[in-house]
Every structure is written in C-alpha cells, then in structure tokens.
Chains A and B, each alone.
Chain A
Amino acid sequence: MKIILPFFAVSGIAAVIYIGVKVYNLQLVFGIILPYLCFILALVGFIARIIRWAASPVPFHIPTVCGQQRSLPWIRSSKIDSPVTGLGVLFRVLGEVLFFRSLFRNDRANLYGEQKRIIYSSDKLLWVGALLFHWFLLVIILRHLRLFLEPVPSWIISLQGLDGIFETTMPGVYISNVFISLSILYLLFRRFRSRIRYISLPADYFILFLLGGIILSGILMRHIYRIDILDAKAFIMGLIYLKPMVHEGLGAMFYVHLGLVSILTLYIPHSKLMHMAGVFLSPTRNLKNNSRMKRHINPWDYPVKVHTYEEWEDEFKDALKEAGIPLDR
C-alpha cells in the first residue's frame, strides 16, 4: 500500500497530462498554466519555509563534535571535525553538502576478526548511490540550462559534450542519464529492503517515483519520442519572458516531462526535499566548537527560580555550624 499508492499517483499524473495533451489538446493547461502556477507556489512556499527556519532561533550551542577539541597547544586539534574557525565550519558544511561526509563515516572494522576478510558494507553503497544521484542530478540540471539561456554559455556546451562523450548511438547517450537511472533504481530498491522499508513513508516512494518519471520521460523524449530541441527552447524562452506560446511541434511526452517537473517543484517546499536548504542550517554542523571561548546568547532566555545560597544557608545553618563550615551570616 505504501508503495503502490504513490506509484499510481505518479503514473496517474503522467497519464492525465499525456491524455490531456494528446486527446484534448490541453497544452495551454499543462504547458503554461501548470508550470507557472507550480513555480509561483513553490517559490512562495520555499521562501516561507526558509524564513520560518531562519526565524526560529538557535538557543543553545550544540555542534556534534567529531574530532579532538582545540585545548592545549601541544595537542593536535581537528580543524574540520571540531572547528573553531569560520573556515573550518565552511569546510565541514561543504564536506556534508558536496561529499556527504557523515554518510561516508561508516568506518567499519572490516579487517578485524579471525578471518581478516574484507566485507562490503551496505552503507558505503548508500553513500555511493546518493553521491552519484546528486552529482548527476546537478549535471543534468546544468545541461538543461542550455534551454534557458541565450546565448548558451560555452561551459555548458562543453559539459554537454563531455557528458555525451560516448556517442555510440544517435542521438548520443548521456553518461549522466545512465548513472542517474541506476542510482535512482538503487535508492528505490533499497527501500524495499526490510529495515528501510519499515521506516519508509509513502512520501519517500512518491518522490522516487516522481523523479523516476521525470528521468524516464526525459530519456524517452531524447531517444524515442523525439522532439525538436529548438521548439522546446523557444517554448521555454517564451515562458521565461512571460510570452508563453503553445508550440504544436512538441509531443505529449514533452508536456509529461514538464508537468512532472512542475509537480516536483510544487512539492519541494512541503517535503523532505527541503534538506537541500536545511543542511546549511543544521546547528549540529554549522556551529564552531568554541562554546567555552565565546558566549552563545539565547534570545528567549528568561529568569528561572533558583535555590539561592542564602536560602540554602538558612535551611542548613545548624548542620553547617556542626561541621565547622564557614557561614556568610
């Protein structure tokens, strides 16, 4: 149920768009109104979410320290895992963002035990899968920029050339398409495994199916239901310059692709995909380990009821006298 429902939701959306365009000629709805609507809502939602995060304060200084602190000068401290400088924090956060350092951390005792054999650990697999997925997603997004920019910057063209370097077929297969398909299949199938299945929610499958749908429609568009790339670009430039126009030459698959991307965009602010922004704000990662060097202020701090020394001395006066402990009063 947790898996089937999201699958049908995504296929349903794709089917509605496909039929809508193919049979009822609803290009206007799915090609223009839907993207605009989704984009605006997503933008508002995204900003609102960031503001809500940023508006809630960080009352306490709670970095998770993963290395030797800076204390005595002759002890070598860990600059990144226990950062005391802004640069250290920057490296730490960038390490998380670019290389998923914490996921990589699964330092296994592979060589221990009598046999001293190497054992493949599933979590390194997760690290590889996640890294491949995110990096190639970036490549694909950058490649798509050629449809959004005029003139197309030369580095995008080089990137595209590099990506399609193995031109064995016509049109060439993009390396990124291959790897992102593989990695998303991995990310999906690992959720079917027992332990991860237990913790997975329909939303987790929904996103994977949605991304899968986008990738699939994109690949289909490139290799089977070919569309004229110039038409596509003209259409997108029309959207960007607020002069939207329906282009007849674009097949239904294009609208499916565009529609699914729009839905994804709309969904971002309401989903775990916000981790793309949240990772920068995580207080266990973006704070320095300097809480004894510099006072951290809690903006909502309030006075609390304490047991003062005077009250305490009054209560235990006799006992203190008996013990010969000096009194204040």
Chain B
Amino acid sequence: MEKPDELKKDIDLIPKKEDWMDPEVEFKKGRYCYGAPLKHQQYLELPNPREWQPSDIDWRLPENWKEIILNGMADLLKKNRSFRLFMDICVRCGACADKCHFFLGSGDPKNMPVLRAELLRSVYRRYFTLQGRLFGRLAGARELTIDVLKEWFYYFYQCTECRRCSVYCPYGIDTCEITMIGRELLNLVGCNIQWVVEPASNCFRTGNHLGVPPHAFKETFDFAIDEIKDLTGIKVEAPINRKGAEVLFVAPSADYFASPHWFTFLGYLMLFHEIGLDYTWSVYASEGGNFGLFHSMELAKRLNAKIYAEAKRLKVKWILGGECGHMWRTIHQYMDTFNGPADFLEVPVSPITGTRFDNAKSTKMVHITEFTADLIYNNMLNLDKTRNDKWRVTFHDSCNPARSIGLFEEPRFIIKNTCNHFFEMPENTIKEMTFCCGSGAGLGADENLEMRLRGGLPRANAVDYVRKRYGVNMLACMCAIDKAALPALLEYWVPGVEVCGVHELVGNALVMKGEKQRDTNLRGEPIMAEEKG
C-alpha cells in the first residue's frame, strides 16, 4: 500500500528547485507576450531592431550584449538612487512575498517580488559589489548569461508594475522601479514586446494606440454624437483641435475605439455638453495613456511631450484628463518633470464652480473624477440615480490612481451620487491594497491570456465575493487597461459581472436639459432591470 506521500511522485507537476540561482525559463504559449515587430522597432529607432520572438532559441543579440547591459546597469545605478538603494537594502524578510497577484495566482516562487528583484540583484552583486566579486554564489551573486537574460525577460514581463508589494515593504522597495529598470536594460539589447512597442509607435506617429488616421478618428466622434442624439435627442458638440478653448481634454485613446470604454467616452461628451464646458479634444495628443512608460523613461517622455506641446499650441488655460491608470501615473508623477514647466498654462479653475485645483497648480492637469466630484458637490448636475438601478455596483481601484495619486474618495463620491446600489469589496483588496487586473504594464496581450487569468484571480475572487453576497453585477473602474482586461477576466472567473467606467454611470444618471425620455442606458439596454419571474 502506497502512502499518500509517495503518491505525490506521480503528480509532480512543477519542477521543484531548491535554489533559484540557476535560471530556468520555458516560454510556453499563453504565458508570454510576443516580441515587438520590426517595423515598429524601426519607427521608434530602438536599439538592435530585428524580427524576434521570446520563444526563439537564438535571440540574435548584439555580439557585445553583456557589455551593453553591464554598462547600462552602471549608468542606471548612477542615475537612480532608487535602483542603487533597492539593490543594497533588501533584507529578504519576505513581507512582500505573498502580495503579488502573479504569485498568488500561479504559485511560481519567482513571482514573489523579492525574488523578481533578486534576479537583478544577483547580477548587481556579481559585477558591482566587493563581496559578490569575492565570494560569488555564496554572496548571492551570479554571472550574467543568456539564460539569466531570458529569465529577466520572462519575469519582468510578468510584473504589471502595480506597486502593491511596495506598500508592504518596510523600506518601501518598489518592484515597479525594479521592473522598469529591468525593462530599460532589456531594451538596450532590443528585447521588448509587441503590446508595448506597437501601441507606443502608433501613438508616436498618429496620436492614438491603434494608429487610426485623423479622418477616421473624427468619424468615431461623429458616431458618438449620433449615438447620443438617438439616446437623448440632444446633439452634443465635440470640438477637435480648436484653438483658444479654455480646457484641453485628453483621454486614453482606447476610449474612442474599444468596448466598454466607448460608453465612458459618451459619458464625457454628455457631461461636457451639459455643463457647457469651453473645451477641445486633440487628435495629435489624443492618447493620454503612455505605453512608453512600460518601455523606458526616454520613450515615456517622448510620448508625453505631445500633451504640453498641444496645450501650448491650442493656447488653452489648463488640461483635463480622462479615466486611465498608467496615464495618470505619468501625469501625476512624471509629466511635470519630463516636459514641464507648464508656465504657459494657468492654475486650473473649474469654470462652472470656480473651484481652484491647487493640488494641480504646477502640472495644471486635473483628473476628471476630481472635476466631476466638485461639480456634484456643488450641485451643478441634475442626476437621476434610478437610471443606474439595474446595476449593483462595486468599485475597483486601479493600481496607479490608487498607489500613485491616492485617488480614493473622488470616484466613490461620484458613484454614490449616480447609483443607488454601491458595495465595497473586502477592505484588504481595495484602495492602497487593491489587487491589479493582472494585465497592466503592457501585458494585456491576448496571447498572454492564461498568465493574465492567473494574475487576475485575486481581483476576480474578491469580485465573486461581492457578487455572491450582494448580487453585484457591475464593476466600475477608471483605467483603460482595466476596461480592456477585466471583461475577459470576469467573463472567465465571475460570469455575469460587467465592467464600466465611472463616467458611464455619470452619463446614465445625467439628466440633460431638453432631453427626451430615455428608455435605454448608454449601452442601448433597457434602463430598468427586467422583472424577475
């Protein structure tokens, strides 16, 4: 009779390695993102351009790749205190280990944030510290080999830069920084993924991530205007590239093309019409979301430059930004540094309420939920909550607005004023402890779906809880990646829960002057839930 322990042998699924120091990576379908296409690498003038896939045996690296990487490391160490510090001070206490959604969902120990950083740290020790050079492996140091590089690629493209681990680290070590540095290094030898480079290149060229040319872009606006007219009987204006407007509005470009982003887009248009905002859209700077941030600081800056340049050209007074995650990380923490000072703009003042947004007095860009919350607080909007009665809503804090800005109460205030049924997910899965959708930082590619489904499990699990407990059927969020990724995630894990943007709820609830009786919501569905029976 076999003992249960012995049975384990025939079900030994995942190789158990005692030591993480030996790199071991297998690129299996569904668990990695495709390499960047040559055309787009060339357009952005990235190093070592070539057709390439991570699953290739030969990565066709430049001959002196090792030298390039090590010089790059030395350079980045010199330029970033965060990098140097985070390499030196980790005590491996393990507090971060179970905070990563990819670890929770996959059980792969190299997804523990501490280990993700150790992948880089071990090379740092070998080449940049005395003890590493003297004692090698004993000091936790290892040679930089092709396999180590492949491992970097595998795991740095398995981190969504959500910064959850950084909340729990006693020294504030931020794996997002580590991943960004790791990706910068990989870029030096031309290793990046399609879902980062292609949208970045499209944004750089056309202004939006799909590479849609201006006339087609304009057409989507016309369609939106038609749809709103059908729905409300009101023809809204959507000025594009209009000079002399007071406000430039920048949204993530997925809002114009993707679903369910589209309904948030309708929500913006209706809101701006209703309050009579003097504003303009821009085709040139139509993408606020910054795919460059997933690539390198330099590319982030190159893409981000468009926003201020356009604000200056159109001679607006200040900028308003739509619902997006990484876009807001860039705007809140990087834009002023990248491309400021914005001395040609004025401190944002809401033309409707007169509220001065002192929290944005230097960057001069206001988040749409800050703007709308202020409108609602000052009773400037006529809202009919019952139009959202069909939905029992929960709110997912998107990683970046949460952990980079601290934008917690504004969206909640809006939701509570536009919906009758709002339910929070468990406390340790929201606000600064929010779980990532599992698809951020460029990992939202469909070829990476299995990995994303693993990473999204903790989030979905919390949604499932409120679904069962409160009958939640709608997840509101304010991030373009969330809106793209969560529908798939929920369809798999929590069927029956849909995803919307905060301003879709606003658009539904907003009673517009002179509107006709509305029978359907923005999605074209009947406003009231069908009677059960």
Contacts and interface: CB of A to CB of B under 8 A. Distances in A.
A12 to B, nearest CB: 14
A141 interface: no
B336 A64 contact: no
Nearest to A57: B81
A312 B92 contact: no
Give 3 nearest A-B pairs by CB, closest first: A69-B406, A278-B89, A323-B218
A301 B403 CA distance: 25
A292 B332 contact: yes
Given A59-B80, A294-B362, 20 more contacts: A56-B77, A56-B79, A67-B408, A69-B406, A71-B359, A72-B370, A75-B413, A130-B170, A200-B92, A202-B139, A202-B140, A272-B88, A279-B171, A293-B358, A293-B361, A305-B302, A308-B309, A316-B213, A323-B218, A323-B219
Interface stretch (B31-39, B160-168, B438-446, B447-455): B160-168
A291 interface: yes
Interface size class of A (residues with CB under 8 A): 35 or more
A123 B283 CA distance: 50
Interface stretch (A216-224, A242-250, A281-289): A281-289
A68 B169 contact: no
Interface in B58-101: 77-85, 88-95, 97-98
Contacts of B95: 102-103, 106, 123, 126
Summarize B's interface: helix, strand, loop or mixed.
Answer: helix
Interface in A111-131: 112, 123, 126, 130
Nearest to A107: B428
23 contacts: A59-B80, A66-B403, A75-B373, A75-B413, A81-B406, A81-B432, A105-B168, A195-B98, A196-B92, A198-B115, A201-B139, A202-B140, A272-B90, A272-B91, A283-B85, A284-B82, A285-B172, A292-B359, A292-B361, A295-B362, A301-B337, A306-B306, A325-B240
Contacts of A100: 170
A96 B170 contact: yes
Contacts of B240: 323, 325
A319 B216 CA distance: 8
A72 B406 contact: no
B302 A66 contact: no
A2 to B, nearest CB: 8
A316 B334 contact: no
Contact of B377 (A74, A108, A312, A323): A74
B88 A108 contact: no
A67 B432 CA distance: 7
B355 interface: yes
A78 interface: yes
Given A67-B432, A202-B138, A320-B214, A56 B171 contact: no
A34 interface: no
Contact of A307 (B78, B80, B204, B357): B204
B80 A56 contact: yes
A49 interface: yes
A109 B84 CA distance: 35
A60 B334 contact: yes
A116 to B, nearest CB: 13
Contacts, number: 282
A324 interface: yes
Contacts of A289: 405-406
B139 A203 contact: yes
B109 interface: yes
Contacts of A279: 89, 170-172
Contacts of A322: 215
A96 B365 CA distance: 32
B226 interface: no
Contact of B82 (A58, A112, A190): A58
Interface in B274-294: 283-284
A297 B337 contact: yes
A53 B85 contact: yes
A312 B284 contact: yes
B283 A304 contact: no
Contact of B213 (A59, A75, A309, A319): A319
Contacts of B406: 65-69, 77-78, 81-82, 289
A292 B363 contact: yes
B493 interface: no
A201 B140 contact: yes
B79 A59 contact: yes
Given A291-B333, A292-B360, A293-B362, A5 B138 contact: yes
B172 A102 contact: yes
A52 B89 CA distance: 13
B30 interface: no
B140 A64 contact: no
Contacts of B405: 65, 69, 289
B133 to A, nearest CB: 11
Contacts of B92: 196, 199-201, 204, 272
Interface in A136-165: none
A65 B329 CA distance: 11
B421 interface: no
Interface in B401-446: 402-410, 413, 426-428, 432-433
A130 B409 contact: no
A196 B92 CA distance: 8
Contacts of A49: 88
A319 B214 CA distance: 6
B153 to A, nearest CB: 21
B112 A199 contact: yes
A174 to B, nearest CB: 26
Contact of B305 (A201, A275, A281, A304): A304
B159 to A, nearest CB: 15
Contacts of B118: 199
B332 to A, nearest CB: 6
B362 to A, nearest CB: 5
A233 interface: no
Given A81-B432, A105-B167, A319 B215 contact: yes
A234 B13 CA distance: 65
Contacts of A58: 80-82
A298 interface: yes
B301 interface: yes
Contact of B130 (A57, A66, A270, A315): A270
A326 B245 CA distance: 13
Nearest to A281: B85
B206 interface: yes
Given A69-B405, A96-B170, A279-B89, A320 B79 contact: no
B363 A66 contact: no
A313 B309 CA distance: 13
Contacts of A229: none
B351 interface: no
B167 A64 contact: yes
A29 interface: no
B346 interface: no
